[in-house]
Amino acid sequence: MIEIIDKAPPEVDQFQRRALMVGVVASAVCVLGAIFNLDQFFRSYLVAYVFWLGITLGCLAILMLQHMSGGAWGLVIRRLLESATRTLPLLALMFLPVAFGVRSVYIWAQPVAADAPEALKQALAHKAPYLNVPFFLARAVFYFAVWNLMAYFLNKWSLEQDRTGHRPLTTRLQALSGPGLVLYGLTVTFASIDWMMSLEPQWFSTMYGVLIMGGQALSAMAFIIAVVVVLSQYKPLSEVIKPRHLHDLGKLMLAFLMLWAYFSFSQFLIIWAGNLPEEIPWYVRRLQTPWKWVGLALVVLQFALPFVLLLSRDLKRNARRLVVVATAVIVMRLVDLIWMTGPEFHEGAFRIHWMDVIMPIGLGGLWLAYFAHQLKARPLLPIGDPFLEEALAPSGH
């Protein structure tokens, strides 16, 4: 069985070319847009960027999680997760526009307006030791160094195991994954404070990092399900992926969905009930403006509907239906990120710029092309893992 698991199918090549084309065209259109409205370009870019970075980092976290937990579900998707983490150098490069756009996007990076409210002035003065451009950039360099180092070793040892089949490598991967998850939690928390929460520099929520991590895991799981389903139409994965694998992955997506909803609702309830002047404006801008319809859509389409659908065992075992739910979840993640950031750019007014839609497509095209490129680089299953045979056995779990 193992012999047939070799390289990715030729369809991946075709996908890579198309993704690259779409990515280049859409990005070029947005660069044109930047000439007319540079500020808007940087804002749209930030949202698109954190969306695709979120999927990548979610894959990094799930990769470490499956090393810790073991199980067949992790083995069949390990190579897809690894391919996603190998895009982190590209994402580090893609951070440059965010770095250049700091002064367009973040209020705290701009000179304080003379007529700004006193409370804002005070908050900015207080936070200046943390929210300043050099430290902001230094932190970003640190985050990318940590993420890339972890991805590098996880990929290196996994490839080594392909050749040698050494069992101690499994232990080594586990030994990295435990502290790796701790580092992931800390870096993502502060990255999300830096890149998203500080858009409204007066607002704060201790749940924010946890909420972003939940969203990353959710979008990554949905993305992986979509990739698994597509690849399972072609050899070699068509020989390997069985409904029970999809079932397990579907259950995990359901678990992440519930976690995300739990974090979101808890944050909302606590802030709503407290109704404090320093916290509630964030929700007022999102729930007492036309943005509320977006919020409602999130409740229905990012939680209620997929939740009910994913309860069904049949749906989780049906590739075509599962991929529809996964795609919807991915799209709603983007909507969620727009909802979390958009109201800050227009003082609560509801405005969607065309670049908010085109930029994620452009960045996504480039990212997906690079992902496909990485996917081709290695066998689609970790052929050296001592537990692979067992995981693929007809009755194994």
User: What residues make contact with other proteins under the rule CB under 8 A?
Assistant: 70-71, 122-123, 126-127, 130, 170-171, 174, 178, 182, 185-186, 189, 193, 202, 204-210, 262-263, 266-267, 269-271, 273-274, 276, 278, 387, 390-391, 395, 397
**Residue with smaller CB distance to other proteins, 44 or 170:** 170
**Residue with smaller CB distance to other proteins, 17 or 397:** 397
Query: C-beta of 215: minimal distance to other proteins in Å?
Result: 14
- Are the CB atoms for 387 and 74 separated by under 8 Å? no
Q: What single DSSP character describes residue 78? A: H
Query: C-beta of 42: minimal distance to other proteins in Å?
Result: 24
Query: C-beta of 328: minimal distance to other proteins in Å?
Result: 24
**Residue with smaller CB distance to other proteins, 124 or 377:** 124
How many Å apart are CA 261 and CA 264, to the nearest integer? 5
325: CB partners within 8 A, 6+ apart:
222, 253, 306, 309, 310, 315
Q: What single DSSP character describes residue 233? A: T
**Residue with smaller CB distance to other proteins, 48 or 213:** 213
How many Å apart are CA 54 and CA 219, to the nearest integer? 7
Exposure of 308 by Cβ count < 10 A (0-12 exposed, 13-18 middle, 19+ buried)? exposed
49: CB partners within 8 A, 6+ apart:
91, 94, 95, 97, 98, 363
Query: C-beta of 266: minimal distance to other proteins in Å?
Result: 4
**Residue with smaller CB distance to other proteins, 4 or 273:** 273
Q: What single DSSP character describes residue 107? A: G
**∠ Cα 198 201 204 (to 5°):** 80
**Residue with smaller CB distance to other proteins, 64 or 91:** 64
**Residue with smaller CB distance to other proteins, 197 or 241:** 197
Query: C-beta of 206: minimal distance to other proteins in Å?
Result: 4
Q: What does residue 352 show for φ and ψ, rounded to 5 degrees?
A: -120, 125
Which token pair is 139? 């932190």
258: CB partners within 8 A, 6+ apart:
307
- Are the CB atoms for 212 and 188 separated by under 8 Å? yes
Q: What single DSSP character describes residue 111? A: P
Query: C-beta of 341: minimal distance to other proteins in Å?
Result: 18
Query: C-beta of 26: minimal distance to other proteins in Å?
Result: 36
